[in-house]
Chains A and B, each alone.
Chain A
């Protein structure tokens, strides 16, 4: 090898030696040209040509007109709020009309419970209202720790963590685990706080059709095939499945047992959001896992708000310490926000005690749900979405028009007629442009355990007559 190289060099030298003078001159000239081209020519730099002068910049700045911060004359005009005077309990005064309340998510009727109020008052006189600090900086109160322990023991998990605001529990918890590059399989019907959590995590999101585990399995198989191609990457890509216990947007129940089977086959972790099922499903109100008789440890973490059944403010997550403890430093809504006011914490504690003391209420609640479900069936022009065990039902137009606005207006008219008859129901509100899959417009009915059979029947009759008035004319 070395020998042949040497030989080439010798040969080259010999060639130079033997070449005619004009040839050498030509070559030297060519080399000079190349060097000049390489180092001394003005290269093509498009940026240089767009370099603006100071005056040009000033002109651009003068000319630039931003869009208005918010649209000046919106069409259609913005939503007007209804004003509720006093508490929104079983009866509610909306715009000065007293109505039966089928819109608040106050399933257990705890909102007006004198016991909870008394507990909150005694806390108010001990701790005041605000905590004036995040959990880390003197915002942890003994009642927070008590509530966390109570929640953990009730849910039979190792640990629970509370947040000061319902939606921020789940939207902070998701990005604490799912990171860029991870894969989250999410149900298409998950509500917006979950979508925001997903968006904050910057993971790859694979949407599967609502409650369609076959579709999920197809996606998981695709993922498995991809993993096989790149096993090195597959070893660090975490896989999560995000579902709700009872979907706020549809009222359907998540098929958890089948999901758990898939979990061990495809090795993903389950995030379960139980805002509507905690304090509703199960013999003691522990939610979906109790409803299906599933070991709570099979779900990696459970997240729920305390704003529905418990009728206070805030949210919580529970699961194994290995999982939950991580949020104490990585859950942004936990670390960087003022903690939950003690009186609201104590209200939640008292509500949990009441749930334990009187588990019959869950059976009663289920009967009410069933009753409402049955009595709103078969209204001409409307369909019912949801499950008989669900405390919320969605009433939709059987034949929606092409225009979302028009459908909403029709439903609003029905709601207005109901209000005139003394029944308060509400549209399920959403910010359509921010939803990944905007749910179709619907009236959302919610059950309160304090409603009597007669009242539920009356509400159904009112709804039926309002619908026939507006839809069949």
Chain B
């Protein structure tokens, strides 16, 4: 987990910052001292505190306990002592080669299953600033859920990617979408290349290109597929892809499907990237040593699990120097950062033409679905002819396209109001306020100060589950994530700040969290605290870990919502 911040010794990075800003949480300013080019026009603060050794050890112990219990329970299940709730293979196919390897599901069966109530919670309202959750309980330790018929109303939504608050069920956007539904229906039943290229799509693409400040753009029905179905059109065997280690699965899948060689550089680490670039050009392809046909650097704008922002100015310098192409995935950053909501390019006040392929999704800030690719006219014409999405996938649903048009016009101020701009500003204010609030409480939070994705480190797997449950009891919906979505010792909760959150909501949140906090949820101890405190805390941790496992083991009717 080294090298989160370029040019900084990982150990120095958290602690050094800590010394400078004692009481705060490992805030470092890498760019101000680091950047030789004066590339950054405004302060760029990112913090990634190194996991303290003690916490790491305890977390591993936590997993150890879980694994031991897992083996024990598997043993009991195989002897028929414990009732096995697993779905089973069909009797007629028992003699087939098993569909899964046994160890494949060990983690799912014995770890995920116990915490599973924290995910897939069903909503029954618009995912706005607050949402309603359908209450569910399990009578058999999360193997099956049943609905109680109750609804939890007014849960504060810190989970949805509703950055600009366009997840709404009334207002001008919805009226426009309703008209389009009446006129076009919801489906298309054909592909863009055949007879599914609606005038709505053309309108949306023109607007998207204008919004991004690029020559042309193309839109696709699904954000995930925008990556996985278009990267293969752009690079082939004999090309090289340099991919950030924390890139989203869709980018990884697209890269794999393309047949190009993939090399991974450390997260946001420009030294690692430059080294790979040099090495690639100097040595050429493996074995044959032929020069690479193209080199494509793939990065994201905001990394959704870390809350970090790509070091775009430096990436662009490297890309120019080494003649590579740049693919920027703005899934989380478009709309969410930048003074006019145009994503990281806007945030760093750069020229969109510096990025060869601007990709993003409409799921998050625009409250819709789908994705886009913007760039030169040649690129977009090429994709219109060669993209798998254009030839094999039904085009975007018209009401969804309309929702994007309306919300994008609002962000651009083309609807004649300043609602869009106000929301962008409010999001930034909310982000700063919320991050500061959590820091003041002493939590370890990751990421850039300006990033609305706020990961709060919890470390221990059982505490992660407990945190999610306790928060829901206090009517706050948060996302908790652990291995394999994060490194094994860095389980975390993730908050997504929205422009629709009011100051009061954010206040209640930090206050309520304060209540959850001392029991067994947060990571209050600091690395720099004196050793006796931290060893006391570790004892506390072990007790917590143990007790929550025992809770999981013994509670016959564990109420889950």
Contacts and interface: CB of A to CB of B under 8 A. Distances in A.
Contacts, number: 359
A85 B199 contact: yes
Contact of A322 (B90, B194, B381): B90
Interface string B247-283: 0111001001100000000000000000000100110
Contacts of A57: 278, 282
A283 to B, nearest CB: 23
Interface in A402-455: 424, 426-431, 434, 444
Interface residues of B, number: 120
Interface in A15-62: 52, 57, 60-61
A127 B222 contact: no
B161 to A, nearest CB: 5
B291 A112 contact: no
A286 interface: no
B197 A81 contact: yes
Contacts of B367: 128-130, 132
B541 interface: no
A128 B169 contact: yes
Interface string B357-376: 10001111011110000000
A336 interface: yes
A167 interface: yes
B181 A88 contact: no
Given A66-B295, A69-B294, A70-B234, A132 B127 contact: yes
Contacts of B294: 66-67, 69
Given A78-B385, A128-B168, A307 B185 contact: no
Contacts of A64: 281, 291-292, 323
Interface string B170-192: 10011001100111111111111
A320 B90 CA distance: 8
A142 B392 contact: no
B324 interface: yes
Interface string A131-157: 111011111111011000000000000
Contact of A338 (B189, B233, B256, B369): B369
A137 B120 CA distance: 6
Contacts of A136: 119-120
B383 to A, nearest CB: 8
A237 B99 CA distance: 9
B181 A120 contact: yes
A35 to B, nearest CB: 35
B189 A60 contact: no
B229 to A, nearest CB: 8
Interface in A242-269: 264, 267-269
B162 A103 contact: no
A84 B195 contact: yes
A337 B222 contact: yes
Interface stretch (B8-16, B394-402, B419-427): B394-402
Interface string A292-305: 00000100000001
14 contacts: A64-B292, A87-B184, A106-B187, A129-B403, A141-B124, A164-B369, A166-B394, A171-B228, A192-B391, A193-B393, A236-B101, A311-B186, A325-B87, A434-B233
Identify the 4 closest CB pairs spanning chains A and B, nearest first: A337-B224, A165-B222, A70-B382, A132-B160
